């Protein structure tokens, strides 16, 4: 009898696996027909998901019996059964939400306190310990030319309490192409690459938001406005708009924090250098080397799956100028990280597997097939594929 049940579940598991489909779609604005970038694409009642690329294209592993959900702030959520997808890329039109932004009068609580309250509520709501299965990628340009690329399947084992999130990183598969040496001892602020250890910690701690806006020395530089965004489906978001004061002559940020006024949970925040204040770049000098930050951006998107409040996607971008008497260069680094699935962490992973270095470029490439074409990774655009192919060929030629 025991053998029968074992055989039965093996057959059932095989049948379920064989029904998995790799569906592909192209998401566009129903009015303008422009691609919708970084729309969240998931499976109903599941933590599995991905996002659309810069062409609005996505690929998702799903079974025929499941429902695909596509959502993006500013659009009506779109649902369709997986059985609607065929072999070809399916065109999907997202209807803009007929939303109206109305200013909300807050008289008793300062908006800085409102912002701090939603950050605190969001920190406390994250489910931990949790393992976030992610796809990560990074592009680096130097003086307008692509010099580095890396991507990987990364597992972030997040633990800790509401005040602080710790994470252990395990690299499952990875590849890297680099025409610029990476020095493991270089200062983070001078590094041409983004520290992979910070992949999720900033999204869970909201440190970037608190440090640059809410700290005592910075908060006086900004005007905050609270607005209500009412959607056609009856739902409502609150938006805290962050704007720099015009008279402050220093590099300042602008952006917005979108949250649910009922739960006080943040669903998106985007903070970047204000165009009006980029003319006042901050410069750091050290032993004759000068570094000026020209642009910085951090964007994070969150989602609720059943009762689980988790990170969905984040994007980091930095651009800076570095010079001395002997050289000058401008470096741009951009990373994208999507949570393709998550589950409660049983904490049984081996500490020997934990990757502790700052960058993926020092880790030898390890692949089991073309992982970037599976696992709900971001679909590469034709232009991105050309860039990666060129870097791979150049690196191979340099090592011969």
**pLDDT digits 0-9 by tens, 104-132:** 766 678 899 999 999 999 999 999 999 99
What per-residue confidence (pLDDT) applies to 74?
Answer: 86
The pTM of the full predicted model, rounded to 2 decimals, is: 0.90
What per-residue confidence (pLDDT) applies to 192?
Answer: 54
List of residues 6+ apart from 227 with CB closer than 8 A? 101, 102, 103, 104, 238, 239, 241
Using DSSP, state whether 356 is helix, strand or coil.
coil
What confidence tier does 282 reach under pLDDT thresholds 50, 70, 90?
confident
Round the average pLDDT of the chain to a whole number and report it. 89
* Cα dihedral 266, 124, 131, 334 sign: positive
List of residues 6+ apart from 350 with CB closer than 8 A? none
Q: How many helices (H) and strands (E) are present in the chain, helices listed first?
A: 6, 19
Residue 140: both structure tokens together? 């680096």
What per-residue confidence (pLDDT) applies to 194?
Answer: 85
Using DSSP, state whether 175 is helix, strand or coil.
strand
What per-residue confidence (pLDDT) applies to 250?
Answer: 93
- Note the Cα 101 to chain centre separation in Å: 26
What is d(CA 195, CA 185) in angstroms, rounded to the nearest whole number? 12
What per-residue confidence (pLDDT) applies to 232?
Answer: 67
The whole-number average pLDDT for the span 79-99 is: 91
- Work out the end-to-end distance of the chain between its first and last CA atoms, rounded to an integer number of angstroms: 61
Beta strands 78-81; 67-71: pairing state: antiparallel
Q: Which of 390, 380, 383 is nearest to 57 (CA)?
A: 380
For residue range 344-386, what is the model confidence (pLDDT) as tens digits? Answer: 999 899 999 999 999 999 899 999 999 999 889 999 999 999 9
Which percentage of the chain shows pLDDT scores above 90? 72
Ordered alpha helix ranges (H), 84-140? 111-125
What is d(CA 196, CA 335) in angstroms, rounded to the nearest whole number? 9
For residue range 34-59, what is the model confidence (pLDDT) as tens digits? Answer: 999 999 999 998 989 999 999 999 99
What confidence tier does 229 reach under pLDDT thresholds 50, 70, 90?
confident
For residue range 10-24, what is the model confidence (pLDDT) as tens digits? Answer: 443 444 444 678 899
For residue range 340-349, what is the model confidence (pLDDT) as tens digits? Answer: 999 999 989 9
């Amino acid at each position: 009898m025991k053998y029968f049940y074992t055989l039965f579940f093996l057959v059932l598991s095989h049948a379920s696996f064989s029904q998995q489909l790799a569906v592909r779609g192209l998401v566009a604005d129903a009015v303008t027909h422009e691609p919708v970038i970084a729309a969240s694409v998931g499976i109903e009642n599941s933590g599995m998901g991905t996002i659309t690329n810069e062409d609005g294209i996505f690929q998702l592993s799903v079974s025929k019996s499941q429902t695909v959900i596509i959502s993006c702030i500013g659009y009506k959520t779109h649902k369709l059964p997986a059985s609607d997808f065929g072999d070809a890329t399916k065109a999907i039109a997202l209807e803009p939400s007929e939303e109206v932004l109305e200013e909300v009068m807050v008289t008793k609580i300062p908006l800085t306190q409102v912002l701090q309250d939603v950050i605190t509520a969001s920190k406390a709501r994250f489910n931990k310990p949790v393992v976030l299965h992610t796809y990560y990628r990074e592009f680096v340009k130097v003086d307008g030319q692509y010099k580095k690329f890396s991507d990987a399947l990364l597992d972030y084992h997040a633990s800790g309490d509401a005040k602080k999130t710790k994470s252990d990183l395990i690299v499952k598969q990875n590849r890297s192409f680099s025409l610029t040496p990476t020095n493991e001892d270089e200062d983070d602020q001078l590094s041409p690459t983004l520290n992979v250890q910070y992949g999720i910690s900033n999204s869970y701690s909201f440190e970037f938001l608190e440090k640059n806006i809410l700290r005592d020395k910075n908060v006086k530089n900004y005007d905050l406005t609270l607005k209500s965004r009412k959607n056609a489906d009856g739902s409502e978001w609150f938006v805290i708009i962050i704007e720099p004061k015009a008279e402050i002559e220093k590099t300042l940020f602008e952006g917005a924090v979108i949250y649910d006024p009922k739960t006080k949970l943040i669903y998106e925040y985007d903070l970047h250098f204000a165009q009006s204040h980029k003319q006042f770049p901050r410069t750091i000098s050290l032993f004759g080397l000068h570094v000026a930050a020209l642009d910085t951006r951090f964007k994070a998107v969150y989602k609720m799956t059943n009762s689980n409040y988790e990170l969905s996607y984040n994007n980091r971008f930095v651009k800076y100028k570095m010079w001395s008497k002997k050289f000058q260069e401008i470096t741009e680094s951009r990373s994208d990280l999507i949570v393709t699935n998550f589950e409660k962490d049983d904490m049984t992973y081996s500490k020997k597997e934990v990757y502790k270095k700052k960058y993926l470029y020092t880790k030898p490439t390890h692949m089991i097939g073309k992982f970037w074409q599976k696992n709900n990774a971001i679909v590469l655009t034709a232009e991105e594929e050309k860039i990666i192919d060129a870097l791979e060929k150049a690196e191979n030629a340099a090592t011969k």
